[in-house]
Structure formats: structure tokens, C-alpha cells
Structure 1
Amino acid sequence: MKTLGPAGMKWLKIAHILLAALFFGGIMSSLALNFAVNLAAYHETFDFYRHTVIISDYIIRIGAVGTLLIGLLYGIFTKWGFFKHRWVAVKWVLFIIQTFIGIFIVDQLMEANMAMLEAGKASALNSPVFMHNHTLRQYAAIVQIAITVFIICISVLKPWKKKKTAL
């Protein structure tokens, strides 16, 4: 398989950094809004969820899908591969876990709360299910941020890398 040259690697790295920044920035923005929302005010809470859905759909998903595609390109067209280095394999596993958290926890809770707000209006804010979903979504976003920071550390430090032996 043909590998990318130095110029291709630089462009791939630029795309990877930009897409990862979208992904991470979207999660951070969503979490910041989560801490700032006044859950006693219906219109503020509704606007929060509406904006969070937009951030999720147009920032986080683009960053996540783009990062996944760039990761595939790295795996196919560079010397890194997918499992040649343990640190790369760990990044893949963590990214998959993080993606599942986003799709099956964060997004589902967000959509459920948005549906409750649309159907029940202000009465949704008194629902224990709504509050539970909101809190759980917040903790899941914190876990996603922690995983992202760990992935960044792995990317820079490259732990578990084989040491070069002197001949």
C-alpha cells in the first residue's frame, strides 16, 4: 500500500487537528452551556436544549465523523497502521467508547429532554426524569472531555512506544 509523503502527512495532520478541535470544542461548549442554564426558567432551558442540539448536530458530529475518517486515512496510508503501535490502538478504542457515549447516552438524553420540553412545556422542568437525564448528560459530557484529554496526551506522549535499542 502506498503511504503518504511528508506534504500529505502535514495536510492530514492539519485536518486532524482542526476536526479534533471542532469535536472537543463542541463538547466543551455544550458542557459550559449546561452549567450556565437556569433549569427553573422554561424558555431559557428550551433555548439551551435547542442550541445544544445544534452544537451536537453541526459541530460535534462533523468533528467526530471527520476525525474518524482522518483516523482511517492515517491507518491506511501511513506507517502508523491501526494496531502496529499500542498507543494508536488505545486511541482507537477510546475514540470508539467516546463515540458510543455521545451517540447512545448524551444524544439520547438530550433528545428525550427536548421532546419533554416540547410536549410538556414548563411542566417538564418539574419531572424527575428530565432532571435525571440532564444530570446524567452532564456527567457523560465530563467523561467525554476526560477521554479526549487522555487521547490528546496519548497522541503527544506516545506511551508504550517501543524503545530504540542501541547496536
Structure 2
Amino acid sequence: MNFSISVFLGTLCSILAVILASFLVEKKFPKRSRPGRKTWWLIAHIFFVVLYFSGLLGTLLLSLSTAFVDRSGLIYAAHLFIQFFDWFLIIPGAFGSLITGFGLAVGTWGITRHYWVIAKWVGNSLAILFGAMCMRVWIHDSFPILFADGMNPLQNPVYLENRRLLVMGTLVSLFLLTFLVVISYLKPWGKRKKYRRSRKSSAGRETAPSV
């Protein structure tokens, strides 16, 4: 329990550090960054999103595949690769997407100006916390019970429940990530009210006739 709390607090502090650093950097950047800089941030962001998707899809495929084999060695190998996916694809993809998403927003749309940008970094932060508190348990804590008492994992009710939760958690993560990708493309909901007012007032000053 103490370890889980430590993981949660460590992950939360990392997310807050990224958010705080992005706010501080945004104040020093111009409202519009150079096109070349934005392009590189976008490329990096897409790269980490692909990593994230790949890890989740691989985890879902392997966790489902264990329902169709009865050899303990194959089940163990599937969960070993699920761990690798988590360490080398899901975790880097999640944090990389969060960091590059802030880097892309700074100097372009802003971090708090548009509702869809706020929804993206809030959703990504929640996905990371969900992974740290739940997915981590279902992925990494399943190893000690794979061969408990010499029992085949498919005859172990603890393992079966763990696998069911892992599949459901992966589906939830995939749904959330898909939702974030969709709103990145559609950019719904527009700007926050105070930024719409400031834009209208500045436009009014520019069009006002001089005396």
C-alpha cells in the first residue's frame, strides 16, 4: 500500500512539474512560435502517440490471446512481453505525449485558452495516473501468481480476475486515447469566454476610427 501511494505521488508530482514548467515557459514565448519549431513538436507528439497506441494494442492482443492457450510457458511469455510493452512503449508514450503536447501548445494555441487543449492535458494526466495506480498492478503484479502452487494459470481464479481487469483497463485506456486523438483533429468547443472577449475588444480597438 505504501508503495502504491509512493508511485501515485511520484507520478502526480511529475505531471504537476510538467504543467508548471509549461506555464512558466509560455509566459516567455511569443504568441506564435516559428512554423519550423511547431512542425518538430508535432512530429515528436505524433511519434509518442503512436508508441502509446502500439503498447496498448499489443497489451490487449496478448492478454486476450492467453484465453486461447493452455500452456503455462506461453502464458508466462505473453505477460512478459506485456511488461516490456508497458516499460518501453506505454510509459514513454504517455509521458512523451504529455510533454510534447504542452510543447506544441506553448506558443500556438496556449495551454488554457481553448477548451479542447485543456481537455487533452487533463485527459492525458488522468490516463497516466490510471496507469500508475491500476494498470501497473494488473500488469506487473500478475507475475507472482502465474505459477502459484504449481497451478495452471487458467485454473487460478486470482489470475483470471487479474486478466479480466487488465483487458478492461486496456480498453478504457484505448477509448480515452482515441477520444483525445479525435478532439485533437476536430478542435471542438472553441476558446474560453475571457479569451473571446479579449479578442473582440482588441479587434474593436483596431477597427475604431481615429479622431
For the residues of structure 2 that align with 1:2 and 1:96, how far apart are their CA atoms?
24
Pairing 1:19–2:41 present: no
SS in 2 for 1:40: coil
Q: For 1:127-146, what aligned pairs fall within 5 Å after superposition? A: 127-146=156-175
1:53 to 75, 83, 90: 83
Deviations 1:10-44 (A, max 9, x none): 00000000111001111011111122223532111
For the residues of structure 1 that align with 2:187 and 2:56, how far apart are their CA atoms?
24
What amino acid maps onto 1:105 in structure 2? C
Identical counterparts, % of pairs: 25
- Where in structure 2 are there 5+ consecutive unaligned residues? 1-27, 205-211
How many aligned residue pairs are there? 166
Q: For 1:79-90, what aligned pairs fall within 5 Å after superposition? A: 79-90=108-119
With normalisation by structure 2, the TM-score equals 0.71
For the residues of structure 2 that align with 1:10 and 1:34, how far apart are their CA atoms?
36
Equivalent in the alignment of 1:64: 94
For the residues of structure 2 that align with 1:97 and 1:91, how far apart are their CA atoms?
10
SS in 1 for 2:158: helix
For the residues of structure 1 that align with 2:51 and 2:121, how far apart are their CA atoms?
18
For the residues of structure 1 that align with 2:168 and 2:124, how far apart are their CA atoms?
17
Equivalent in the alignment of 2:143: 114
Structure 2 CA distance for partners of 1:113 and 1:25, relative to 1, 3 Å:
same
Asked if structure 1 preserves the Cα contact closer than 8 Å seen for 2:52 and 2:89, the reply is: yes
From the CA coordinates, give the structure whose radius of gyration is larger: 2
Asked if structure 2 preserves the Cα contact closer than 8 Å seen for 1:94 and 1:151, the reply is: yes
Asked if structure 1 preserves the Cα contact closer than 8 Å seen for 2:49 and 2:97, the reply is: yes
Equivalent in the alignment of 2:29: 2
What amino acid maps onto 2:125 in structure 1? I
For the residues of structure 2 that align with 1:24 and 1:32, how far apart are their CA atoms?
12
